[in-house]
A = this chain, B = another copy of it.
Amino acid sequence: MRPSGRKLDEMRAVSVEVGFTKHAEGSALIKMGDTHVLCTATIEDRVPPFIKGSGLGWVTAEYGMLPRATNTRMRREAASGKQGGRTVEIQRLIGRSLRAGVDRVALGERQITVDCDVLQADGGTRCASITGGWIALRLAVNKLMKAGDVITDPLVDPVAAISCGIYAGQPVLDLDYPEDSEAGVDGNFIMTGSKKLIEVQMSAEGSTYSRDQMNQLMDLAEKGVSELVAVQKEVTA
């Protein structure tokens, strides 16, 4: 039995409010249950030095969490003078994942920065950031296309992410915080709308898992991503 009463393969309620903030070229507040992440996409004409003049575009991401997004207040990273290891890991993952769905030639030599800021956390913030970040990216690219700055759609296959894990001996979909903090094994599965894999990270803390278990979680993840991609399409239609 899951603490939330959900079925093993049941995701939390998902809702998305697009255009949550007005300045960004794309913005969305995604809620996966009590995990709320504000995602914004910013278009800039400059690209990082290593691709200057290549004609290729770039998509990158930054991640943050408000100090009291969590149950007890965490120290503000800006005040402590650096981003923690967890933050760095997550924002690299978000950027890498989003880029997998992007045709960088079609995007042209410009950069889109996706900021994912967690307003409230209840497990699964990195997956919500990827799923919501894609929505913000989609909205921003729509603007570029509407303005004629980009002709061929550079977003070739939608990207979404979901966590799965082994909780109380059972494979479960979309861990919330109470599950996440007790699961010995959990994974993040990032896929495209056509079920291609982008990144799988499955790790055990103080435990191990079998290939069978891995395959069970993969099955759950495919189900979850399908549902998320449907939401993405609906809210950006």
Binding site for B on A (CB under 8 A): 20-24, 27, 34, 36, 38, 40, 42, 44, 62, 64, 66-71, 73, 76-79, 81-83, 85, 87-89, 92, 96, 99-100, 104, 113, 115, 117, 119-121, 157, 187, 192, 196-211, 214, 218
A215, chain B: closest CB distance, angstroms? 8
Q: Which residue of chain B has the shortest Cβ distance to A56 in the bound complex? A: B206
User: Contacts of A89 on B, CB cut-off 8 Å?
Assistant: 85, 88-89, 92
Whether B200 and A67, one on each chain, are in contact in the complex, defined by CB atoms closer than 8 angstroms, is no
A21→B68 CA distance, assembly (Å): 9
Q: What are 30 A-B pairs with beta-carbon distances under 8 A?
A: A21-B119, A21-B120, A23-B69, A23-B70, A23-B120, A38-B119, A40-B66, A40-B67, A42-B68, A62-B67, A62-B76, A64-B78, A66-B115, A68-B115, A76-B78, A76-B115, A77-B78, A78-B83, A79-B83, A82-B82, A88-B89, A89-B92, A100-B205, A100-B207, A197-B211, A198-B204, A200-B201, A200-B203, A201-B201, A211-B218
Whether B202 and A199, one on each chain, are in contact in the complex, defined by CB atoms closer than 8 angstroms, is yes
A94, chain B: closest CB distance, angstroms? 12
Whether B218 and A200, one on each chain, are in contact in the complex, defined by CB atoms closer than 8 angstroms, is no
A109→B206 CA distance, assembly (Å): 16
A44→B62 CA distance, assembly (Å): 29
Given contacts A78-B64, A83-B78, A83-B79, contact A214 B198 (CB under 8 A): no
A196, chain B: closest CB distance, angstroms? 4
A19→B158 CA distance, assembly (Å): 34
Whether A120 and B22, one on each chain, are in contact in the complex, defined by CB atoms closer than 8 angstroms, is yes
Whether A38 and B66, one on each chain, are in contact in the complex, defined by CB atoms closer than 8 angstroms, is yes
